[in-house]
Amino acid sequence: MKLISTRIIEAIKSIDQEQSEGGIYALPERYSKGKWPAGHHHIFGGAYKELDLLSRLGIKGKEQRSGRIDFLSEEGAGFLQFTDIALTKIRPYGNRYQLDRHHGKRWEDCSSELKNTVSRFIKSARNSWSPEIGILVALVYTDSEKHSKDLIMSSIDEPFISRYNLILAHETWTDPHGRGIWTTAVCWASIKDKT
């Protein structure tokens, strides 16, 4: 299972490098059908072949309206959910997307919000009606590597991961298209005890 978590992070990073127009940050807005941004489960769930996350992993998945992607892997039936936190704003300037340093958003510590999201995910992943595997992916966008680390630290520290018996993979990278942002992808996996 650790392998699938790591592979999900690698695939998301690869998609970010391929998307020169705003990277993965801009995908919800770019694929919006109306006034609301498109959900990551829709974007990565197979609606767009070049962005189909699970097909990149060799796993059969199906986008669901419940805000998740259901899949069947060698490890068993599972679901994949997404959450994102953006403490930046990327805007088009001429023919390029750049970090808007005057957008009015200030650094704020959203670490407790993220940790609460992970805790809610754990409860839903361990309900009796849930599949064996639950995976939550957080996409975090900040203006510095330090802010990224500060935001995710309480959700990836060893006591938290051990307490809930989670499998963790994460990576932070600078924007491959020079827009001045940092992207962090964090993947928590919860596997039901079969005893």
**Total length of the chain:** 195
Q: SS3 of 158, please? A: helix
pTM of the model: 0.89
pLDDT per residue over 81-133, tens digit each?
A: 999 998 876 665 555 556 666 555 565 778 999 999 999 999 989 887 888 99
- Give the structural domain span for 113: 2-191
Task: Give me the number of domains the chain comprises.
Answer: 1
Neighbours of 180 (CB within 10 A): 15
